[in-house]
Amino acid sequence: MEKTMDCGQNTLLNELTQGKELTNLLRMHLHSSSSPETRQALLEKILCSYEKALSMLNWNGFVVETKPTGSTLESPGSIANSSPGSEGSDKKDVFKKRKTSSGWTEQVRVCSGTSLEGPLDDGYCWRKYGQKDILGSNCPRGYYRCTHRHSQGCLATKQVQRSDEDPTIFEVKYRGRHTCKQASHFAATSVPVTRESKLKGNHSRQKQQQLEEKQKQSQEVFFSFEAGLKVKTEDLDNKEDIFPSFHFPVESEVENSMVIKTLMENDIMGNLSPAFISPATSESNYFSVSPCHMGSFGLGQNVQTSDSDLTDIISAPTSVTNSPIGDLDISSLDKLEFDPSFLFDNPEFFS
């Protein structure tokens, strides 16, 4: 766990630090007679770094607490009745209630040239359980549920459908929230104690290696995607049910300041509401992060959100891989510390 936290934190910090350095480099180039191409390249790299960093943040799910959802669709009854536990003996008892459009939708754009059948993984382990041709749509819709549904009773599901208009866009509809261990830890290195991981000896190790390999590949794929990532988030009001809230534990130290400062330096924080850097209040020592605001970092991601409650906290994982990025446990950020009294316009910070 500790290892995972350090790893994820380091990765995040590396990206942000790289972004900072690149920004400085760009600044230097601005004062020099370097070519616009050079500047452009630097800009791209900066965006790249921050997109990675943001993805890491997003991917951690920010599932901090689990509270019963008011949503009709994932009411324990509906799913439970159709869960394997209740199935089996009498199929007629299976309750296949059509779900209403609760949950939220994200549109994920992948880079051109990518041949993935579906959008990136979002750090969760999904298992496909169905596919349907949808009326009025050329592309079938895939139905996925959390791999840990059986082992941990995780009720999260998602639907993935390629957009007719733009094949590079996948519409991903999330439903339910992850209650699995992975959702909490989001650490690939700490593989949830599932049936696989309980397997003994070489077999489990082999499995883990396969998983790691898979994640490694996913990461590579993801990084090839990020430039064209587009996320459209809807129904954020429902997200509250699923990712009820995220609080960034903050204490007073410099590292967090660096993160924020770095964002500020790149005019990223310009769009942040006070909620993000919220008073980090002396009382709570927490600040919350709105998915909307995270999305409005202006990092080249075209993010559209509904005008839903901006106080909702972090968005669900946007896209979709078992990338090691998922290794980052957001809880690791509690090691990041933020000095509420830090002056962001401190010119000396970026020396």
Partner DNA sequence: GCCATTTGACCGCC
Partner DNA sequence: GGCGGTCAAATGGC
- Residue from 147, 288, 290, 305 binding DNA (CB under 7 A): 147
Query: Encoding tokens for residue 97?
Result: 């209630």
Contacts of 25 (CB under 8 A, 6+ apart): 42
Closest contact distance (angstroms) between CB of 82 and DNA is 3
Closest contact distance (angstroms) between CB of 172 and DNA is 13
Closest contact distance (angstroms) between CB of 182 and DNA is 12
**Would you give the distance in Å from CA 177 to the centre of its chain?**
13
Closest contact distance (angstroms) between CB of 211 and DNA is 9
- Residue from 50, 59, 143, 174 binding DNA (CB under 7 A): 143
Binding segment for DNA among 181-189, 193-201, 219-227, 304-312 (CB under 7 A)? 193-201
Please report which residue ranges of the chain form alpha helices under DSSP H.
2-31, 36-59, 76-82, 149-152, 181-185, 195-198, 201-225, 236-242, 254-265, 291-295
**Pairwise CA distance, residues 261 & 269, whole Å:** 8
Helices 2-31, 36-59: axis angle to 10 degrees equals 160
Instruction: Indicate whether 128 belongs to the interface with DNA (CB under 7 A).
Output: yes
Instruction: Indicate whether 136 belongs to the interface with DNA (CB under 7 A).
Output: yes
- Residue from 135, 274, 283, 351 binding DNA (CB under 7 A): 135
- Give the largest CA-CA distance in the chain: 76
CB-wise, 145 or 247, nearer to DNA?
145
Binding segment for DNA among 4-12, 85-93, 225-233, 309-317 (CB under 7 A)? 85-93
Q: What is the total count of residues that contact DNA (CB under 7 A)?
A: 39
- Residue from 32, 38, 100, 304 binding DNA (CB under 7 A): 100
**Pairwise CA distance, residues 259 & 279, whole Å:** 16
Instruction: Indicate whether 28 belongs to the interface with DNA (CB under 7 A).
Output: no
Q: Answer for the pair 127, 144: CB distance below 8 angstroms, yes or no.
A: yes
Instruction: Indicate whether 96 belongs to the interface with DNA (CB under 7 A).
Output: yes
Subset of residues 201 to 240 that bind DNA, contact rule: CB under 7 A: 210
- Residue from 1, 28, 134, 193 binding DNA (CB under 7 A): 134
**Pairwise CA distance, residues 51 & 41, whole Å:** 15
Give which of 294, 339, 350 is closest to 51, Cα–Cα: 294
Closest contact distance (angstroms) between CB of 202 and DNA is 13
List the x/- string, 108-127, binding to DNA by CB under 7 A. ---------x-------xxx
Give which of 188, 210, 208, 192 is closest to 151, Cα–Cα: 192
CB-wise, 136 or 274, nearer to DNA?
136
CB-wise, 92 or 200, nearer to DNA?
92
Q: What angle do CA 211, 217, 218 make, to 5 degrees?
A: 85
Instruction: Indicate whether 131 belongs to the interface with DNA (CB under 7 A).
Output: yes
Instruction: Indicate whether 87 belongs to the interface with DNA (CB under 7 A).
Output: yes
**Would you give the distance in Å from CA 122 to the centre of its chain?**
6
Closest contact distance (angstroms) between CB of 196 and DNA is 5
Half-sphere exposure of 111 (CA within 13 A, CB side): 10
**Would you give the distance in Å from CA 345 to the centre of its chain?**
29
Give which of 283, 282, 258, 254 is closest to 269, Cα–Cα: 258
**Pairwise CA distance, residues 332 & 323, whole Å:** 17
- Residue from 88, 113, 201, 347 binding DNA (CB under 7 A): 88
CB-wise, 290 or 323, nearer to DNA?
323
Closest contact distance (angstroms) between CB of 232 and DNA is 18
Instruction: Indicate whether 200 belongs to the interface with DNA (CB under 7 A).
Output: no
Q: Which residues bind DNA (CB under 7 A)?
A: 82-84, 87-88, 91-92, 94-101, 117, 125-132, 134-136, 141-143, 145, 147, 157, 159, 175, 195-196, 199, 210
